[in-house]
Structure 1
Amino acid sequence: MKSLLSSRPVLWFLFLFNLVVAVIAPFVVDGTQGVVTAVGMGAVALGARIGLLRDDARRSPARRAA
């Protein structure tokens, strides 16, 4: 399961989908529930983005030095 969740296509899906939901949630769901949904989905999107950045750093360390 870990290899599936850390694959690039899954991380991109998690990042983009959760980011879109985090932006739209406060407008679709009223009140506190919309805000909490946005914060939760934003946290998942942030975690997926960090995973993508770590994967990029592991793949090409020479690219960062250039």
Structure 2
Amino acid sequence: MKTPPRPVLWFLFLFNLAVAAVAPLAVDGAQGVATAVGMGVVSLGAGVALLRGRARPQHG
């Protein structure tokens, strides 16, 4: 699977991180916690992809 472009990864990382931080405050109970966990996982995945892309330059 091809890695998305870096601007897309930055958007996914920052947007999902922000939503994960605000979700428990905006939504009560288990739904807020579940939303925070889900968005946090997506943000972590984008962050890992950003770090991997930095380690080896992409050509093409």
Same fold (TM over 0.5): yes
Which consecutive residues of structure 1, in runs of 5 or more, have no partner in the other structure?
60-66
Offset at 1:11? 0.1
SS in 1 for 2:30: helix
TM-score normalised by length of structure 1: 0.82
C-alpha separation in 1, matches of 2:5 and 2:35: 25
Alignment length (residue pairs): 57
**Structure with greater helix percent:** 1
CA distance in 2, matches of 1:58, 1:44: 22
Bigger relative contact order (CA 8 A; separation at least 6): 2
User: Which structure 2 segments of 5+ residues have no match?
Assistant: none
2:38, 2:56 → 1: CA distance?
27
User: Identity across aligned pairs (percent)?
Assistant: 65
C-alpha RMSD of matched pairs (Å): 1.2
User: What does residue 49 of structure 1 align with?
Assistant: 47
The runs of at least 4 aligned residues of structure 1 exceeding 3 Å deviation read none
